[in-house]
Amino acid sequence: MSEKKKIADGDNHSHDHAHSHLPSDPELRVKAVETLLLNKGLIDSKTLDELIDTYENRIGPKNGANVVAKAWVDPEYKKRLLIDATSAIRELSYQGRQGENMVVVENTPEIHNVIVCTLCSCYPWPVLGIPPTWYKSDEYRSRTVREPRKVLLEFGLSLDPKVQIKVWDSTAEIRYLVLPMRPKGTENMDESELAELVTRNSMIGTGLPKEIK
Amino acid sequence: MSRLHDMGGRFGDGSIPIPRDGKNEVTNIEPTFKYEWHSKAWAITLAAGALGEWNLDISRHYRECLPPKDYVNFSYYEKWLAALTNLLIDKELISLSELKEYVSAAENGTLKKFSDKNIKLDQRTWLAKDVQKTLGWGGPSVRDIDISPVFNIGDKVVTENYSPNKDIIGGHTRLPKYAMGRVGVIHSYNNNHVFPDKNAHDLGENPLPLYTVEFKSSEIWGELAENENDSIFLDLWEPYLKLFPH
């Protein structure tokens, strides 16, 4: 047996966890810690506003939809995207935090890809923004690796048993984006019209792009 | 052994909480943050992280180390806030007496933010003008070092079992328990990345080869596998893997 030096920090039971002193109302809890950090000058309220505004209004699934639409109309771009997604996505100026190492996985008539993070909530922020509640839920994290077909059925997606499902569990710092199949009957649509069809869930693998009526 | 956050494959969870519209159709439209305090818990975690007193792996490990009862009862952003509070204390950015003072002020309704002119910003504090630059750069985990990967694409490998972290009892690891002791195939090599098992415990970055490994669902779940064609792909560091048969 190897000599292990120490136990994990969080397992040190000689003192109470600091968080046990927090109020029971989560809103008050945040307010207390936030005000303390602000008054100590360790965080700046303008930074908090800028961060929240960025992910509420600027960085979200529209970015990913633009990547997908470009790949649908531009075969050379698609080739670059599948070989080096990080660089190809950077061509559209989407990059950075939680998207430092991007991999794009392509859906085909034979393969359907689904993204999950069973250990936490890893998600490609520059192209999809902050993950939705269901993506971070225990239910999605626990079940998607064991019964992806039942999970997809709950999202309204029924896959032929002959289609192979590939589940990508984001266990490292690689972030995945699904390239869904271009819907039929969209041959005459341009890139920006196509981007409107690309749903967030279709880029996680729990949905398909919108059909045209 | 593992912790509660490592939930891939477990039984007992019900339907996915998927938002639906008035016609009961799945909808992709929902607010980025459901409540203002969610956005605040998230933003103060990012801003405090930018002080540079801990890395991403440490903050993940602190969430994982919440006592099981709290881990289960807390909602997502409550976990973030609890882990942040423990980190702020452990890294001595705030003291327990300061925390208690602000908590009782919050409970009595006497919490007061100082006026801006009475706040002296720490020199490490993340400023609004730098937010876009810092987000755009991110925190790359790839390290440009000369280590050749031991495994080749197509190699059959078996994963570690029981306790992948070799330094710390109950230490952080990114090998989920559902994939421990299982045989897979090297799908790709993804350069050398900071090793979370050490980095989460301030033992250095120790960058190592990172592979994407494909496991057949039948190898993972046996007869419970939904469909024998299906696969699961995991991103695993070299120490989690041995050549099979070994």
DSSP string of A29-84? HHHHHHHHHHHTTSS-HHHHHHHHHIIIIISSHHHHHHHHHHHHH-HHHHHHHHH-
Domains and CATH numbers, chain B: 36-136 (1.10.472.20), 156-243 (2.30.30.50)
* Whether residue A81 is found in the same domain as residue A179: yes
Which of A141, A146, A178 to substitute to test the interface with B, most B CBs within 10 Å?
A: A146
Burial A184-210 (b: 16+ CB within 10 A, else e): eebeebeeeebbebbbbbbbbbbbbbe
Pairwise CA distance, residues A90 & A113, whole Å: 23
> What is the pLDDT of chain A when averaged over all its residues?
94
Residues A156 and A51 in one domain: no
Domain that holds residue A50: 24-58
Please confirm, yes or no, whether A117 is among the known catalytic residues.
yes
Question: Which pLDDT value is given to residue A21?
Answer: 85
Contact A149, B221 (CB under 8 A): no
Q: Which residues, at least 6 apart from B152, have a Cβ–Cβ distance to it below 8 Å?
A: B186
**Contacting residues of B for A199, CB less than 8 Å apart:** 28
Q: Does a structural domain hold residue A213?
A: no
Give pTM, 2 decimals: 0.96
Confidence check: pLDDT of A197 > 50? yes
CA distance B17 to chain A (A): 5
Residue A19 lies in a domain: no
Closest CA to B2 of B54, B50, B65, B48: B65
Active-site residue, selected from the candidate residues A87, A120, A137, A142: A120
Chain B residues whose beta carbon lies within 8 Å of the beta carbon of residue A136: 76
pLDDT at A1: 45
Domain count, chain A: 2
Mutation target to probe the B interface, by most B beta carbons within 10 A, among A133, A140, A201 is: A133
State whether B127 and A11 contact (CB < 8 Å): no
Mind listing the pLDDT tens digit for each residue in A132-179? 999 999 999 999 999 999 999 999 999 999 999 999 999 999 999 999
**Mean pLDDT for chain B overall:** 96
In the residue annotation, A122 being an active-site residue is answered as yes
pLDDT confidence band for B57 (50 / 70 / 90): very high
- Is A120 labeled as catalytic in the residue annotation? yes
Out of B106, B176, B224, the one facing A169 most closely (by C-beta) is: B176
- Evaluate the CA torsion angle A156, A65, A67, A103 in order and state its sign: negative
pLDDT tens, position by position, B173-209: 999 999 999 999 999 999 999 999 999 999 999 999 9
Has residue A22 got a pLDDT over 90? no
What would the mean pLDDT of B101-109 be, rounded to a whole number? Answer: 95
Mean pLDDT of A11-21: 71
Residue A15 lies in a domain: no
- Residue A108 CB coordination number (10 Å): 11
pLDDT tens for residues B226-238?
999 999 999 999 9
Residues in A touching B82 (Cβ below 8 Å): 17, 19, 22
Are A167 and A83 in the same domain? yes
